[in-house]
Structure 1
């Protein structure tokens, strides 16, 4: 009688299962060393070049020794991604204006994600349930609760805040991977040749690319204005750098 193969653990499983017992002797490796090496490897070569073998070579260790500390490559990715969130500098407390808190968080998260170009595209592919990511979520949720959001509106507001940052950081990373001018010119020329199909894009596509910082801040301003407009009547939440930043 054949047994069914064990299905692979889903991404994020590392946060929800008991930690495995380590080797009896004091190991040369640790989970912290593995994560540090993984982040460095991902920064240099991207997700496509991350493997347990490559990671072991970087650590000058045998690949099997890694499995005392991490069960799968997905574990490594989840741990490395949470280490990136650990670089986000959260304030010690909340300011009187919730918009100040959210605008500062968005700017800081963007800064960190742009330092690690592989990270932003992964944020929507796995649960962000590590301690550092949860600390960021706690900060955002607490700010929004103070503003007056509750229930489904609270989770939706938190989601669009994070999505704006991760989406814009991922897009900026892609455009900056190579010289931005050449692909933008190619898209512009293509739209001009097919202006009958895409008349609005042909007229308004930003061939120059513009200023990514201003583009991000403008989007954050629109987002914060939209959240403010949907606050309960008791608190309009006006103020903060998101209101006039450009």
Structure 2
């Protein structure tokens, strides 16, 4: 069995790779950076913000055997006041978080490299369910993945037996989350990426349409749907009002 994980060198992606390897998958990790830890996953370097790099990576991926499980996990962010974030940062977020995974997925499907009966996961964000002041471009890019997945899910399942899962993780205990969190945020309240990876892979293998790892994520999503204005106000108070600097990946 073969698996592909984008952004598999650190954080949630690294945990996904480790668990897939333990499950007996041959794993390909597509990432700009070398893995933080020693891993037997096959590494393909790609800066997902570069159209040329994505096209070259797609050529490399389509030269491999087909994949039985694919997770488009890679993501970057920029936090702060929207108007103070550099235009180039907004463009890079859209390229990495939305354009690259959609292009890679479409290219792999066209080449027949996502096997019939495979599982495909798109890592979106809980911001799909509520406003996210302070990270609007991130929220928009991650929402694009959720919409794309919704559009292809039924067609791919009917024609190819491929099941698509959209993943909505809450805050995780990663370096990425720490960089973008307000000063004084309690990292201990965040879920460990290894635990999130276990729950996400369980849902993907079961073919679930949505994966919200952890009770807190499910509660947040529910509240975002029934009281969107209240949740957006809460996000503003809890995050946006405490951001005193601009941080971009």
Shorter-normalised TM range:
under 0.3
TM-score (norm 1): 0.28
Q: Flag the structure with higher helix content.
A: 1
Q: Which structure has the greater CA radius of gyration?
A: 1
TM-score (norm 2): 0.28
